[in-house]
Amino acid sequence: MSGESRILEGYVSLPYKWAMGAATTRFFEELKNKKIMGTKCPKCNRVLIPARSFCSHCFEKIDEWKEVSQEGTLRTWCTVNFSYEGQPKEPPYILGIIDLDGADVGLPHFVGGVDLDDFEEAAKKVHIGGRVRAVWKENRTGNILDIDYFQPVE
Amino acid sequence: MGHAVAIIGTGQTHCGKRTDVSYPELIYEAVSRAFEDSGLSPDDIEAVVSGSMPPAMEGVNNPHLYWADAMGAGGKPLIRIATCGSTGISLAHAGFYHVSSGLFDLVLVVGAEKMYEGNPQGVMATVADPFFQRPFLAGAPGIFALQSNEWAHRYGLEEKRVRMAAAELSVRNHTDALDNPYAHIKVKIAVEDVLKSRVIAYPVRILDVCPASDGACAVIMASERMVRKMGAKPAWIRGVGYCGEEAFFGEGDKVVWQAAINAAKTAYKQAGITDPRKEIDVAEVYNPFTFQEMLFYECFGFCDFGQACELVEKGVVMRGGDLPCDPSGGVLCTNPIGATGLQRAAEIALQVTNKAGDHQIPGASTGLTHAMGGLDQFNGIMIISNSL
Amino acid sequence: MGKRVAIVDTVQTEHGDKLEDNIREIMFGVVRQLLDRVGIEKSEIGTMVSASSDYWEGISCSNAYYYDAAGANLKSGSNAEEDSGLAFIYGFMRILSGDYKTALVISITKCSETPSAATLTHMSADPFFHRPVGLNETVVAGLQAREYMNRYGITEEDLAMVVVKNLGNAQKNPYAHRGGQLSEEEVLASSMMVYPLREMDIPSTSDGACAVLLAEEKIARDLTDTPIFVEGVGWGTDHSFLGDRNLLNGSLPKAAERAYQMAGVKDPSNEIDMAEICDITSFHEILWMEQLGFCPPGKGADLVKDGVTAMHGKLPVNPSGGLFGANPYVARGLIRIAEAAMQLKGEAGDRQVLDVSRAVAQSVHGLGGQLHSVIILGT
């Protein structure tokens, strides 16, 4: 078949309400109090953050809570210089995976408190193996962004 | 035929509005029960198959990756299967082929849905293509109303008679669901309640229609070699059949419904079934709408075309009849879509191994399990027995 | 494994940034062409397995929309939703079971019709922890690349070489969406997306479709003089939470090991003649090559530098141009398989590599390469 082919424009936008479960709910409640709580697997003894109700490796239920440090080591990081629909933050920004002291798994979160206009200078402060510490939001409402970002510590 | 395949364990969650758990936690619940039932642990599993309805239902793309840990799938082969409403039976088929191919001895199959997290009818409206059908066929009840009216008209069935038969099926499902610990809707109703309930899409009333549910189901399948090794007394999969048809609703005949007829025929042939009415002891027919269940009886050869009302009137498809259907309470009372078809298979596995508890059909040895999907487009069947 | 299964033939669209035809028409086009090329009727197709995704189509139950357009009306079928490499494996298993003698495997993605890959892979991130911090495929690629660079010290120039090679190869691929003779400087001049990945290190998405006909050995031999046998398959997923995972040693090595074991391959770097892999970024071609056992960890860039993976090197990687040539998201895995099969058949035209009897095709989806499939094909 030959001839013109037009485009039908549409938009699929739907509301969601995601059930968190008890482990995530408590994890977020604790964030309000500036506490980062993990759960500890009784079998492999790993402390998992975000806190979860079962261990991904052992497939055991987890009940034991364990606070982890607000400070940790940067496992890896990147700068985000592009935009997309649904993006939570205006680029540019830095994202990292942080191995918090006392936790056995990493936490992906923003790295902030550095001036991205001077990239060379920023890259001196933000580096793999470098130490970072949680910076909290003033108004905490019980979600992962109650931690505003992780800031490099000297 | 490939390698023989058995169901050696099942796990279901309680269904309903499950805001107490996250999506992965809901799946963990079903999977843990399947391990408990089979006496296996995640380490034993060699491959995992999982699926749900459109992932827009929960607002997560690639949900199988989001739940990978909840299935103990880390480090293991994993495939996501999604075929709309028939997802559950397609999952069961995919698990079957993993084992039947000879590649695996133990496979975990998981279906799930959390319909309270999104907007199920909004998502289902996007099943219809955006050019021709979406403006009209948005929402399932309308499609089923169109189909049932055509069916009644084709065979000159009196409106009152069809109405009564549908109402009796609704009462049967609601009554049976009371005996199923995992069912969602648990209310005692009478025929008058159905007849008085609100019209959703004429002639379909609210009590003719399934709910939206949160729920998950897990099934563990094993090769014959593994069954012997474990000394298990499993439910054997003896036949599988699936058939899909045109995307446009108006194109095919939905009364003498070829996709449903073919799916059953293929499965019967594989299972060596020639007289389904006699050889099948129990059936879990996918029945999101009472009227449509009767149409399936005809397509599956439980009776001649136009005769389904009689099966209801004579009590054949009721508990105590000689072909009881949906003793679990069916889809009409529990419908976490991505799990629904798999729940049918799990329920038949329970029935033929005499593990169905309060809703056990005494002496059931061969059962039919079914699911349907798309805009009346896909049908899948599985025949399950207590012997090979 | 007693039964042998082979690829009879393959068909691809001429991929592009915007194919004008409707999804059903494109699907019909590739399947019709495949049937005509092989010389069989639709009635001779046993079963159909598709790969298409609801998020990547904007139509829920995506396979329902084109089921009949894929020649599957009144046939059995299924949909391995997110990755066409897995649809291929499922079709393979259906034939192995003995229930079907032939299987049509198809996949389509029209990225021109959907939100961006950045947005759709952002929706793959869980809503509580990963999505609020903006994870998506590209961002995780950046995190992964940074960790790799830190460990093994490769440079942006090394990455640029992959882009130059693949876009150069793509020039010779008539199905490719883009291609060109670029210099490393041109790649390095493109804007920084997620350090160290520049705009040109990340293949943008495409529209495209692919159809592959699988058959058991006897039928395959009746239908073609050059059946390409499926010698091994392996696939596997990594854990859900990004922080739980080792981003430099995920699910691919294990998936590859499974496939090699089935195919009886002990030394991939010597026994594999060419590879088509999902270079979701220039960096990932290097990482995946290492995890496919082509070289030890940290040495992937040397393979590119030394010309081993060039079109006429010892182990050509992505002579089609890979995803740099065309990246229709869900269909890309099946296209890798089709390209490898064309090479083994000796039908790859200007991009034909020499002396190939065994090839690897790899497919991946999920953040940071969570789920991989590996397929070994041979003559």
Q: Is the pLDDT of residue B248 over 90?
A: no
Please tell me the predicted confidence (pLDDT) of residue B142.
75
Tell me, yes or no, whether A76 lies in a domain: yes
The residue in chain A having the minimum alpha-carbon distance to the alpha carbon of residue C129 is A144
Task: Give the whole-angstrom CA distance, residue C161 versus residue C150.
Answer: 19
Please tell me the predicted confidence (pLDDT) of residue A3.
81
> How many inter-chain contacts (A to B, CB under 8 Å) are there?
59
Going residue by residue through chain C, which has 379 residues, state the pLDDT in tens, using 9 for 90 and above: 578 999 999 999 999 999 988 899 999 999 999 999 999 999 999 999 999 999 999 888 999 999 999 999 999 999 999 999 999 999 999 999 999 999 999 999 999 999 999 999 999 999 999 999 999 999 999 999 999 999 999 999 999 999 999 999 999 999 999 999 999 999 999 999 998 999 999 999 999 999 999 999 999 999 999 999 999 999 999 999 999 999 999 999 999 999 999 999 999 999 999 999 999 999 999 999 999 999 999 999 999 999 999 999 999 999 999 999 999 999 999 999 999 999 999 999 999 999 999 999 999 999 999 999 999 999 9
CB contact under 8 A, C145 and A49: no
Task: Give the whole-angstrom CA distance, residue B157 versus residue B312.
Answer: 14
| C222 CB burial (10 A radius; 0-12, 13-18, 19+) | exposed
Task: Give the whole-angstrom CA distance, residue C232 versus residue B95.
Answer: 19
> How many inter-chain contacts (A to C, CB under 8 Å) are there?
120
CB B133, CB B257: distance < 8 Å: no
Q: What is the mean pLDDT of residues B30-43?
A: 97
Task: Give the whole-angstrom CA distance, residue A125 versus residue A132.
Answer: 10
CB C94, CB C371: distance < 8 Å: no
- In this structure, what CATH number is given to the domain that contains residue C76? 3.40.47.10
Interface list for chain A against chain C, based on CB atoms closer than 8 Å? 1, 5, 10, 12, 16, 18, 20, 24, 48-50, 56-57, 75-82, 84-89, 93, 95-97, 99, 105-110, 128-129, 143-145
Tell me, yes or no, whether A52 lies in a domain: yes
Task: Give the whole-angstrom CA distance, residue B185 versus residue B175.
Answer: 10
Q: What is the mean pLDDT of residues A71-85?
A: 89
Task: Give the whole-angstrom CA distance, residue A146 versus residue A98.
Answer: 16
CB contact under 8 A, C76 and B55: no
B46-60, B70-84, B229-243: least confidently modelled range: B46-60
Percent over 90 (pLDDT), chain B? 83
The CA-CA-CA angle for residues B230, B235, B236, to 5°, reads 95
Task: Give the whole-angstrom CA distance, residue B365 versus residue B387.
Answer: 8
Task: Give the whole-angstrom CA distance, residue B91 versus residue C80.
Answer: 10
Question: Which residues of chain A neighbour B19 with C-beta distances below 8 Å?
Answer: 19
CB contact under 8 A, B21 and A10: no
Q: Does C73 touch chain B (CB under 8 A)?
A: yes
CB contact under 8 A, A76 and C20: no
Please tell me the predicted confidence (pLDDT) of residue A16.
79
Neighbours of chain C (3+ CB pairs under 8 A): A, B
| B250 CB burial (10 A radius; 0-12, 13-18, 19+) | exposed
Question: Which residues of chain A neighbour C119 with C-beta distances below 8 Å?
Answer: 84-86
Task: Give the whole-angstrom CA distance, residue B262 versus residue B382.
Answer: 12
CB contact under 8 A, C73 and B244: yes
**C-alpha distance from C76 to closest chain B C-alpha (Å):** 4
Tens of pLDDT, residues C131-186? 999 999 999 999 999 999 999 999 999 999 999 999 999 999 999 999 999 999 99
Tell me, yes or no, whether C17 lies in a domain: yes
Up-side HSE of residue C54: CA atoms within 13 Å toward CB? 31
B139 pLDDT tier (thresholds 50, 70, 90) = low
Whole-Å CA distances, C3 to B102, B108, C76, C193, C218 = 10, 24, 21, 48, 10
Please tell me the predicted confidence (pLDDT) of residue C62.
93
Tell me, yes or no, whether A140 lies in a domain: yes
Compute the residue count for chain A: 154
Please tell me the predicted confidence (pLDDT) of residue A1.
67
Question: Which residues of chain A neighbour C112 with C-beta distances below 8 Å?
Answer: none
The CA-CA-CA angle for residues B330, B334, B336, to 5°, reads 120
Please tell me the predicted confidence (pLDDT) of residue B138.
54
Tens of pLDDT, residues B311-329? 999 999 999 999 999 999 9
- What amino acid is encoded at A58 in this protein? C
- 3-state secondary structure at position A143: coil
Count of Cβ atoms closer than 10 Å to residue B112 Cβ: 35
Please tell me the predicted confidence (pLDDT) of residue B136.
63
**C-alpha distance from B381 to closest chain A C-alpha (Å):** 32
Q: What is the DSSP string of B212-275?
A: --EEEEEEEEEEHHHHHHHT---EEEEEEEEEE--SSTTTS-TTTTHHHHHHHHHHHHHHT-S-
Task: Give the whole-angstrom CA distance, residue B200 versus residue B121.
Answer: 13
B1 pLDDT tier (thresholds 50, 70, 90) = low
Task: Give the whole-angstrom CA distance, residue C12 versus residue A8.
Answer: 25
CA dihedral C337, C340, C342, C348 (to 10 degrees): 130
Tell me, yes or no, whether C36 lies in a domain: yes
Helical (H) or strand (E) element with A149: strand A147-152
CB C21, CB C116: distance < 8 Å: no
Whole-Å CA distances, B386 to B233, B289, B329, C137 = 8, 29, 22, 47
Q: Using CB atoms, which residue from B28, B117, B119 is nearest to A18?
A: B117
The helix-helix angle for C282-291 and C252-263 (nearest 10°) equals: 50
CB contact under 8 A, B247 and C66: yes
Tens of pLDDT, residues C1-15? 578 999 999 999 999
CB C279, CB C316: distance < 8 Å: no
Ordered by where they begin, the domains of chain B are: 5-120+211-385 (3.40.47.10)
Residue given tokens 């035209």 in the structure block: C349
Name the phi and psi angles at A62, rounded to 5.
-120, 130
The residue in chain A having the minimum alpha-carbon distance to the alpha carbon of residue C247 is A76
Cα B84 from chain centroid?
12
Count of Cβ atoms closer than 10 Å to residue B314 Cβ: 11
Q: Does B100 touch chain C (CB under 8 A)?
A: yes
Domain that holds residue C77: 5-115+205-223
Select from C22, C90, C97 the residue whose CB has the most chain B CBs within 10 Å, as the one to mutate to test that interface: C97
CA proximity to C44, closest of C234, C214, C255: C214
Please tell me the predicted confidence (pLDDT) of residue A82.
85
Q: What is the mean pLDDT of residues B125-148?
A: 74
Strands C197-198 and C192-194: antiparallel
Number of domains in chain C: 1
Instruction: Establish whether the linkage from the previous residue to C328 is cis, with ω within 30° of 0.
Output: no
Beta bridge partners of C78: C49
Task: Give the whole-angstrom CA distance, residue A134 versus residue A96.
Answer: 12
CB B7, CB B349: distance < 8 Å: yes
The helix-helix angle for C282-291 and C137-152 (nearest 10°) equals: 60
The residue in chain B having the minimum alpha-carbon distance to the alpha carbon of residue C85 is B79
Tell me, yes or no, whether C351 lies in a domain: no
Percent over 70 (pLDDT), chain B? 98
Considering A87-96, B91-100, B152-161, the range whose residues carry the highest mean pLDDT is: B91-100
According to DSSP, residue B198 is labeled P
The residue in chain C having the minimum alpha-carbon distance to the alpha carbon of residue B23 is C126
Number of domains in chain A: 1
Question: Which residues of chain B neighbour A18 with C-beta distances below 8 Å?
Answer: 22-23, 58-59, 117
CB contact under 8 A, C79 and B82: yes
Domain that holds residue A42: 21-152
B269 pLDDT tier (thresholds 50, 70, 90) = very high
Instruction: Establish whether the linkage from the previous residue to B203 is cis, with ω within 30° of 0.
Output: yes
Strands B366-373 and C5-12: unpaired
Question: Which residues of chain A neighbour B70 with C-beta distances below 8 Å?
Answer: 54
Task: Give the whole-angstrom CA distance, residue B115 versus residue C90.
Answer: 28
Please tell me the predicted confidence (pLDDT) of residue B137.
60
Beta bridge partners of B203: none
Q: What letters, b where the CB count within 10 A reaches 16 and e where it falls short, cover A6-42?
A: eeeeeebeeeeebbbbebbebbbebbeeeebbbbbbe
Q: Considering only residues A52 and B133, tell me which one the structure prediction assigns the higher pLDDT.
A: A52
B223 pLDDT tier (thresholds 50, 70, 90) = very high
Count of Cβ atoms closer than 10 Å to residue C249 Cβ: 14
Strands A131-136 and A147-152: antiparallel
In chain C, which among 52-71 make CB contacts under 8 A with chain B? Answer: 53-55, 58-61, 63-69
CB contact under 8 A, C126 and B374: no
- 3-state secondary structure at position B281: coil
- What ipTM was predicted for this assembly? 0.98
Tell me, yes or no, whether C267 lies in a domain: no
